[in-house]
Every structure is written in structure tokens, then in C-alpha cells.
Structure 1
Amino acid sequence: MIIHLLPDSPKKEGRSFPRLCFKEAVREKKTTRFFLTEPGVKAFEKSLLDLEGEGLSHGLLGISSTWDTCGQWLCSIGISTGESGKADSLKIWDSMSTLIIEAFYGGSHKQLVDLLQEDLEDCVLYTLPAKKWHWRARTSALYFSQNVPVSDNYRILFASSVLNLTELTALRPDLGKLKKVLYFHENQLVYPVQKCQERDFQYGYNQILSCLVADVVVFNSAFNMESFLTSIRKFMKLIPDHRPKNLESIIRPKCQVLYFPIRFPDVSRSNVITCGKQCTLLCIRFMPEHKMTHFKKIFGLKGNEDDTPLTDLPFQQKSRVTESLMKNSHLNLESGLCEVQSGPHTTQQDSLSNPLTKLEDLNKAHPSRNSDPGQKEDKEHTTLNLYNTLSGTDAQQRPLHIVWPHRWEHDKDPESFFRSLLRLQEAGLSFHVSVLGETFTDVPGIFSEAKKALGSSVLHWGYLPSKDDYFQALCMADVVISTAKHEFFGVAMLEAVYCGCYPLCPKDLVYPEIFPAEYLYSTPEQLFKRLQNFCKRPDIIRKHLYKGEMARFSWAALRGKFRSLLTTEPREDL
């Protein structure tokens, strides 16, 4: 088993180490994670002594360090529980046969390796935080070569294409002997850049070299794979002379497509919130009633018999009380809102774990990940007002609600998106918009301009760090739009469709592979006209049932394929 000790987050500063939870995890041999404050180190050591006193011998088998997203130290500690003491401990530690390395531990990269680590009992994960992507691509191999401990029992190395696998295996010949699986979330050969510079050549070149040393090359879509392989020849022509040949024919036999696995949450349940000084309880259904037919269709898709594609949102794991509250309430099925008898005021320290959430807390702005002080205006998010959205108007008559859940970066082409919305506004059409997604250091100026221009049409503006808030926003929307100039899969679009949104995507990139033709547009004018029609008759969109298939992208459907990929017998030369 592995216990992951993470530095305590700022919001929980000073919290003591959870000794009881830790000891329970050790007793049950569970792989888990704990936040660790500086005083918590002593509590951790005391917990080990307690376990020893209880007859549960332990061994501190190895400590590997990495850095979390705040630049703080993070350690993974191998711990055993067994009567035979340290010898048995070493055996358990040595059973870690799968080594996972993620040089950009954020977004979809983080989602994937977290799923793998959770599912595979014999794997160990080493990461670097998701920032300064270019530096991660240039230097992470050297860092990991010095920080991944040597082990004779590793059999498989799994890494994303951000890592320069060639450099790592040259610096660490022991890792070069493993079965090396390289996963492409995106490829640099067709990635759009604002300003082409000679130094950018190295990113695509490094990915080609990594493919040459990898044993298996996995892409998250056929578009990603084909766009990479068919671009190699043209890309290598950038070399002035003495160009290598036949690289595509060497790499292609190693390649396969394995869709990114999405763990879809259960959004059919309801959340209970308190609002106002009178502490009135309100039952807010994640998915409005008019979307429930869509949701039942998703439930009924074939291909999930082995496992449900759904998982509880964090707060739902402790919100079974909601069901009994609903039974005793007057429920407005169309609005998705019900008013319950007034009850005692309930405080919460963590909105992810307590089902009784204050409405005021849900309406507070969440901090953005934008670290640029010059973008202060973008960090002040418009609140997500549940009252205005869910009550007071018949569900089929409310203005069209458009959501844009993408990174605030140039490759997602926010300019095209906002141009369409401003044209709708100029035409006198009513609509609501929620602009979600992460922000980074450089935010395109169009965001602050559009926020002012759209005014009261904005329901929410900015990144939602908690998954329950994020999926609730998707469930309240009607249409999800992509205007991307680059997309190799599109997790956010699929999550929105799962939540009942009608997708509108470019007839380009990966989208024709993922979505039926009905949901694709060819020009910005086509996008505007379709939105224009939707604004005039939002009720039609709300009755629409998605015609594509979702099950093939679920973790339930793809879990076995990933396990097979990472549990293959080791190579004979090991």
C-alpha cells in the first residue's frame, strides 16, 4: 500500500494530522492521501508508534519526493502491515511494478493518472505541478532521473508525451529496460502557436524521439494519432539538411487509440442548501426535470454492464438525507427546486462534504487560478444565482442558457465565441451565458471586454474549483459550445453533453469522431444562425435527446483496456 502525505492547503492551515483515519487506512491496507501540516509530521510519527504498540508492525520502506501545485514538498511513503516486520514490508514495497510519471500534473493529465493509481494496486506515481508547460517539456526528464528511486521490480513505465522519454531512458538505463507506454493527450506537430519560433521545433521533435524509444504509443483519439503520424514527414522538412527518413513507418506499428476515460458523476440526485437568516431549506436538483429523460437514456446505454459509469459527487457521498427531505417537501418538478420546512442553522467547513450548503456560500466568488495581478477584473467572478436560474419562470420559457467550459487561452478561440454572442445581443435576442474553465498567467483581453459587453446576460464568470458546483452549472445550461482551433479529445464537451447540454462544435479536429453530424457547424455564420434559432425556441432544445453514444468514453467501459495495457507480462530481457 502507499500513503500519500500532502502539504496542508491554505484553507485548512493548522489542521492536525488525521491519526485515526491514517491508522484505519493502514489496518485495511488502503491506498489513500492525507494533507500534512508541519506539526502533522510529529503526529504521523506518533501514529506509526501507535500501530506498532497495537501489534501492527510497520516499516518505512522508502520516501520519494515531488512537488505539489503550490510548489510545496510532497512525499509518498511505502508502509506495510504484517507480522513478519520489515522483511515483509520490503516485499510489499517491491511489488510496485508499474511506474507512472506525469510531468504536467493538472487537468486531464491529472484525471487520468489519478484514475490509474486508484485502480492499480501495484503502481507508484511521480509528478510535477501543472505550470510552465514549456519548462516541464524541456527539463522534467532530468528531474525525474534524479528523484525516481531505483527498483529492480518495476516492469512498466507509463508517462504522458510531455516527458522527454528519450532523455529519461538515457539518464536512467534501468528505466529504459521497462515496457514503456507513452500516452498522447495532445501532439505538438499540429498544435497552433501564436508566433512560430525556431525554438518551438524541439517540442514536436522530442515527441517523435519519445515515440522511437517507447514500446507502445497510445493516443486519446484517432484524430490525434493520424494528425501526428501524417505530419511527421512535413515537420522533419524543417531540418535544413541530412533529414532522417521513414519515421512514420517505424512509429506507426507501435500506435493505438485508447479514448480518454471519463468518470461520469451521478447528477440525477438533489442537493440541499440553506439560505437566509430563516434557514429555509431548499432542495436543488442537479439535473432539471426536463433533462431527466436524457439522463435515463444515458443510464440505459449498453456497454456498462461490468460497472456503472457513474460515481457520487463528493458532497453526495454524505447526502442520503436529501432523499428523505424530498419526500416531505413540496417539489416543483419543472424548476428543479423545492422548499422544505425551516430547520436549524447548519454550518459547514467544507462544501464538498456537507449536503447542507448555504446559498450565500454557493453565490460567493471562487478564486481563479489566474496568477496575473493585471487580470484582477477577470478574477472577480459573477455569481451563480440559483434563484434566478431555477425559480420564477417556467423551465421551457427561460432564456437559452449557453455554457463555454474551456481553458481561457488562444487555442480555444474565445474571440469567435464572443463575437457570436454579441451578434445575438445586437439582434435583441435573450440568452444567459456561463463562462467556465481555468485561467492561467496570460488571459486573452477579449474576456474582460466581453464581460462588460454582455452585462446582465452573464450568470457565471470564471473557474469553479469544486466539481459539484461545476456539474451543477453544466446541468443548468442548455447548449455547450466549442470554437476551438485545437482539440484532440474534449473532456469538457463530453461532460456537458452528459449533463444534458446540446453540443455545437466545429466540423473539424476531433469533433467528427466524437459527435454525430447534427452537432457540427462549418463556419462562424452557421454557428450564429443555429444559436439565433435556439434563442427563439429554447423549448425545442430542452426537449432534445442526444443522438450520440456516451458509454464508450466512460471509465467503466475503458477500465479493462487500461488495466490490460499496464499489466502485460514484462519483457524477456528484464
Structure 2
Amino acid sequence: MSVEAMQRQAENYSYKCCRVLFSSSVLNLCELVALRPDLARLKKVLYFHENQLVYPVRKDQDRDFQYGYNQVLSCLVSDVVVFNSHFNMDSFLSSIRSFMKKIPDHRPKDLEQLIRPKCVVLSYPIQFPDVNSLLPEHKRMRCLQGSAETSRADDIITPQHAQQTSRSEEDLCKCTSVSSTVLTPVRGAEPSDEVKPLHIVWPHRWEHDKNPELFFRTLLKLKEQQLNFHVSVLGETFTDVPEIFSSSRHLLESNILNWGFLSSKEQYLHVLSNADVVISTSNHEFFGVAMLEAVHCGCFPLCPKALVYPEIFPEPYLYSTPEQLCKRLQEFCKRPGLVRKHTVKVDTFLFSWTFLKPKFQTLLASP
């Protein structure tokens, strides 16, 4: 924010009644407080939805040191530092020391020890819409049974439990074939479940850190094996779109149902509600709103066993290698009823604004 903007706000606004300043980590909080000393007395809460210390770049010299340095300084000035996931917090704190080694001389020390006591984790709150009217019949029936099952506390998988599978799931995960054995059938699926092609959706930004190369490479392997599937490639595009999108669109033309950014939220939810499997191939993810929205719409998630994903998704929804991802999709293409009969063991309510609102109210309470 410019000095002129600071001066203009100082003239037009009074913060005498304010007690808390809530800011994103993309803001240089240190600079803000220096330019607006009247804000220094407020309780300063800094929220990290990402961190620049570990943001993936093609070459390390492409990394803008100033962005990461600003985030470290903002932490020092803040009273509370909030991260949207444990992965985000741990990756940031553990990278401070090596990041500061890029300073030629007079490197500050023990910054992690100064910042860590201020840190807490609070998930990003998602406003999940009511999608019941958009869901196909087999998903609606699944939701009804899932609601009955999760009324018992021991059936709910929370983020804290995401890495702790039940004994039966552990046994199943040891199987050499990571496929239908991890799925729980539910009565009421449509008779055409094994006839209608599997619908795969990829709802991410069209940028290199989302690793679209792995996604398209996997789909082309499925196509080479003459497996039947449909695909919807959603998400926002920016100026630098990886070339893999244009080349893959041509090769997958007969499989594509939707391609590119959808103009309305309702259209987006409609596609998610009619998809079977949602896939992440990301090299970079601190939370993953798109994956949780898709799960809310009844999609079976497949995510890397890395980054934030093990914090949210139980073992059956994680893959460790590209080969495992391809193997899972091969099985699902051959037997799409497996995913259509499965109730995903992730309670999206725990990431909703309804659930998290009291926690944010406590966070933003006056000191």
C-alpha cells in the first residue's frame, strides 16, 4: 500500500473504537504499522493462507526474496500468527533459518523461536452451499445413509484423525492393489453405475505448481489402454498457461465434458455434483478449498500423500506415486460403481464457516 493511500485513510477514518487488526500475510504488516502508528496499539492478527518461503519456483533465483522477508517481519510485529493448516505453519517456521541465510551479512538469529509462541492453526472457513437439488440420485441416497452413519461419533473422521485409519482400513491399505478394497459399498446406487463412464474432474488454477503435467500424463495413459472416462478440466487461467493444456485438449477431445473456467458458481457446482472423482496433482498446497468443495458435492478425492493432504484426508484417498494414481484410476474406469457407491470419510462440516465461526470470534476478540 502506498504512502499516499496511508495518508488518505488516516484523514478519512478513525480507529479509536477498534481493538483488533486482522490482516492477510500478503500485506506487509510491518510497513503498515510504521506508516500508521495509530494502528500499533491494536491487537494485530496475521492470517497465513500460504507462505512465500516454500512457494515452488522453477529456479530458486526466480524467488523474490522480499516477499518472504516481508512475511517474516510481519510475524515479528503481529500479536497472533494464524495458519490455515499445520503443514503451512511447520513449513514456514522450519524454513526461516535457511531462508535468512540468503542475506549476505548480519543475519538475524532465533527468529523461529520468537515467532512460534504466537502461532496457532485455524482452518480456512468455507461457506458450503446446499447442493442437494444438483446431486444425482445415487449421491443423494449416499448422503442420506452417510448422515445416519455419522450420527455416531466414532464414525466421524476429523482432521486430527485423518492420519489414523481403523484396523480394517489399515489391513486394506496393506493390499498390493490399492483399489476397490478400500471402498465401502452403499445400497441404492443406480443400475447404470457400471455402464456410465467415470467422470474425472480437475478444479485447480492452470499454473505449474498444480502439476498439470502429471494429471494429463495419467489421463493419456488411461486413453492408451482404451479405458472409458470423461473429464472436466476447470479452474482459472492466467497469462502464463502451461503448454500442456493446449496439447492435451487436442489429444483428449473425445473425453472432455467441460474445459476451462465456468462463468457462474452454480455451473461449477453442477459439474462437481455430477463428477465421480476429483483429483489433485499439486506440488504446492497449504489447504485446498477446491478439493473440499468437490467432496462436499459427493466426489471421491485422490490426493498426493504430501503437503497438507494427509492432514485432511484419510489414507484411502492418498497416493504416493504417479503409478499408484494411475492404478487407482484404471480400476475406477473399469468399475465406476466403486466410487459411486462409496461415502467419503471426510466430514466437510469441520471446515465450514458454521463450525469455525465461534473460533474466529474468539480469535478476533479484544485483548
Indicate the SS of the match to 2:54. Answer: coil
2:224 corresponds in structure 1 to 426
- Residue 547 of structure 1 and its aligned partner are, at CA, apart by 1.6
More helix by share: 2
Asked if 1:203 is matched to 2:64, the reply is: no
The separation in 2 between residues aligned to 1:254 and 1:334, in whole angstroms, is 49
After superposition, the Cα gap between the structure-2 partners of 1:562 and 1:144, relative to the gap in structure 1 and judged at 3 Å, is farther
The separation in 2 between residues aligned to 1:551 and 1:435, in whole angstroms, is 26
Q: What does 1:63-462 align with in structure 2 at a 5 Å threshold?
A: 140=1, 142=3, 144-148=5-9, 149-151=12-14, 152-197=16-61, 200-269=64-133, 286-296=134-144, 299=147, 301=150, 394-462=192-260
The separation in 2 between residues aligned to 1:484 and 1:141, in whole angstroms, is 34
1:67 corresponds in structure 2 to none
The separation in 2 between residues aligned to 1:487 and 1:154, in whole angstroms, is 34
The separation in 2 between residues aligned to 1:199 and 1:521, in whole angstroms, is 29
The separation in 2 between residues aligned to 1:160 and 1:208, in whole angstroms, is 13
Q: Conserved in 2, the CA contact under 8 Å of 1:141 and 1:163? A: no
Opposite residue 69 of structure 2, the aligned amino acid is: Y
- Residue 256 of structure 1 and its aligned partner are, at CA, apart by 0.3
The separation in 2 between residues aligned to 1:294 and 1:413, in whole angstroms, is 32
Q: Deviations over 1:153-203 (max 9, x none)?
A: 222111110100001110110112211111001001111012333761111
After superposition, the Cα gap between the structure-2 partners of 1:534 and 1:262, relative to the gap in structure 1 and judged at 3 Å, is same
After superposition, the Cα gap between the structure-2 partners of 1:141 and 1:450, relative to the gap in structure 1 and judged at 3 Å, is same
2:166 corresponds in structure 1 to none
- Residue 396 of structure 1 and its aligned partner are, at CA, apart by 4.1
After superposition, the Cα gap between the structure-2 partners of 1:227 and 1:142, relative to the gap in structure 1 and judged at 3 Å, is farther
- Residue 290 of structure 1 and its aligned partner are, at CA, apart by 0.8
Indicate the SS of the match to 1:230. Answer: helix
- Residue 536 of structure 1 and its aligned partner are, at CA, apart by 0.4
After superposition, the Cα gap between the structure-2 partners of 1:461 and 1:244, relative to the gap in structure 1 and judged at 3 Å, is same
After superposition, the Cα gap between the structure-2 partners of 1:298 and 1:252, relative to the gap in structure 1 and judged at 3 Å, is farther
Opposite residue 252 of structure 1, the aligned amino acid is: R
After superposition, the Cα gap between the structure-2 partners of 1:162 and 1:144, relative to the gap in structure 1 and judged at 3 Å, is farther
More strand by share: 1
Q: Conserved in 2, the CA contact under 8 Å of 1:399 and 1:432? A: yes
After superposition, the Cα gap between the structure-2 partners of 1:288 and 1:144, relative to the gap in structure 1 and judged at 3 Å, is farther
The separation in 1 between residues aligned to 2:46 and 2:194, in whole angstroms, is 47
After superposition, the Cα gap between the structure-2 partners of 1:558 and 1:457, relative to the gap in structure 1 and judged at 3 Å, is same
The separation in 2 between residues aligned to 1:302 and 1:165, in whole angstroms, is 44
Opposite residue 239 of structure 1, the aligned amino acid is: I
After superposition, the Cα gap between the structure-2 partners of 1:259 and 1:399, relative to the gap in structure 1 and judged at 3 Å, is same
- Residue 464 of structure 1 and its aligned partner are, at CA, apart by 1.2
Give identity over the alignment, percent: 65
Opposite residue 436 of structure 1, the aligned amino acid is: L
Indicate the SS of the match to 1:189. Answer: coil
The separation in 1 between residues aligned to 2:265 and 2:147, in whole angstroms, is 20
Q: Conserved in 1, the CA contact under 8 Å of 2:319 and 2:325? A: yes
Opposite residue 338 of structure 2, the aligned amino acid is: I
- Residue 299 of structure 1 and its aligned partner are, at CA, apart by 4.9
- Residue 297 of structure 1 and its aligned partner are, at CA, apart by 5.4
The separation in 2 between residues aligned to 1:203 and 1:430, in whole angstroms, is 45
The separation in 2 between residues aligned to 1:519 and 1:436, in whole angstroms, is 21
Opposite residue 74 of structure 2, the aligned amino acid is: S
User: Aligned match of 1:533 in 331, 339, 346?
Assistant: 331
Q: Conserved in 1, the CA contact under 8 Å of 2:146 and 2:343? A: no
User: Aligned match of 1:555 in 322, 341, 353?
Assistant: 353
After superposition, the Cα gap between the structure-2 partners of 1:334 and 1:525, relative to the gap in structure 1 and judged at 3 Å, is closer
2:155 corresponds in structure 1 to none
- Residue 143 of structure 1 and its aligned partner are, at CA, apart by 6.2
Stretches of structure 2 that go unaligned for 5 or more consecutive residues are 153-187
1:524 corresponds in structure 2 to 322
Q: Deviations over 1:521-566 (max 9, x none)?
A: 0111111111011100001110011122222111111011111212
The separation in 2 between residues aligned to 1:467 and 1:298, in whole angstroms, is 25
After superposition, the Cα gap between the structure-2 partners of 1:181 and 1:299, relative to the gap in structure 1 and judged at 3 Å, is farther
The separation in 2 between residues aligned to 1:556 and 1:198, in whole angstroms, is 40
The separation in 1 between residues aligned to 2:192 and 2:340, in whole angstroms, is 12
The separation in 2 between residues aligned to 1:567 and 1:417, in whole angstroms, is 44
After superposition, the Cα gap between the structure-2 partners of 1:424 and 1:198, relative to the gap in structure 1 and judged at 3 Å, is closer
Q: Conserved in 2, the CA contact under 8 Å of 1:298 and 1:498? A: no
The separation in 2 between residues aligned to 1:483 and 1:142, in whole angstroms, is 41
Higher relative contact order (CA 8 A, sep 6+): 2
Report which of the two structures shows the higher radius of gyration computed on alpha carbons. Answer: 1
Q: Conserved in 2, the CA contact under 8 Å of 1:294 and 1:546? A: no
- Residue 295 of structure 1 and its aligned partner are, at CA, apart by 2.4
The separation in 2 between residues aligned to 1:230 and 1:297, in whole angstroms, is 43
Q: Deviations over 1:257-298 (max 9, x none)?
A: 0001111111112xxxxxxxxxxxxxxxx1011111332356
- TM-score by structure 2 length? 0.85
Stretches of structure 1 that go unaligned for 5 or more consecutive residues are 1-139, 270-285, 304-332, 336-392, 570-574
The separation in 2 between residues aligned to 1:428 and 1:161, in whole angstroms, is 47
- Residue 402 of structure 1 and its aligned partner are, at CA, apart by 0.1
The separation in 2 between residues aligned to 1:221 and 1:207, in whole angstroms, is 17
